[in-house]
Amino acid sequence: MLKNKRLLVAFGVTVFAAGFLAGNLTELGSAVEAQSEKVFEMRTYTALPGRLDALNARFRDHTTRIFRKHGMSNVGYWVPQDDPLAENTLIYIISHPSRDAAATNWDKFRADPEWQRVAEESQRDGRIVESVDAVFMDATDYSQIQ
């Protein structure tokens, strides 16, 4: 009887350990998967008064190309229709292969000598950007864009 009880306890502990391990491996897999999935980044730039045209020119003529050079995919760029945001706001979305890739892409972008030159030249008449807000997003399963 004692032998059967020990076998039953050993079996229960084994099943529990296997379930616990499987559950944690699943969570680990989900964390790794989350780090390796495409991520979208929405950024909202508020330009200093009278500087929105300069900001748009910098993006149009240089920034979007430099983004591509560093693994960032340009999804879209918008300016609001209604005041007061229409006077000073640029909103855009880019994508990265993963959140980790986003950090690497931004580091490479900021260190790029061409970007540093463009940023300096575009601000000869004064600073352009007052503030930047960034939000990382995952596409929903029903989104048109994946």
Global pTM reads 0.74
Cα dihedral 24/29/32/33 (nearest 10): -140
Identify residue 68 by its one-letter amino acid code.
Answer: R
Q: Where are the alpha helices (DSSP H) in the chain?
A: 2-36, 52-58, 64-69, 99-111, 113-122
CA distance 144 to 120: 38
Residue 77, strand partner residues: 92
3-state SS class at 102: helix
Write down the residue that tokens 């879209």 correspond to.
76
The answer to whether the beta carbons of residues 142 and 100 sit under 8 Å apart is no
* Tens of pLDDT, residues 24-60: 544 444 444 444 599 999 999 999 999 999 999 999 9
Report phi then psi at 81, rounded to 5: -85, -30
What is the pLDDT tens value at each position of the chain, 146 positions in all? 545 444 444 444 444 444 544 555 444 444 444 445 999 999 999 999 999 999 999 999 999 999 999 999 999 999 999 999 999 999 999 999 999 999 999 999 999 999 999 999 999 999 999 999 999 999 999 999 88
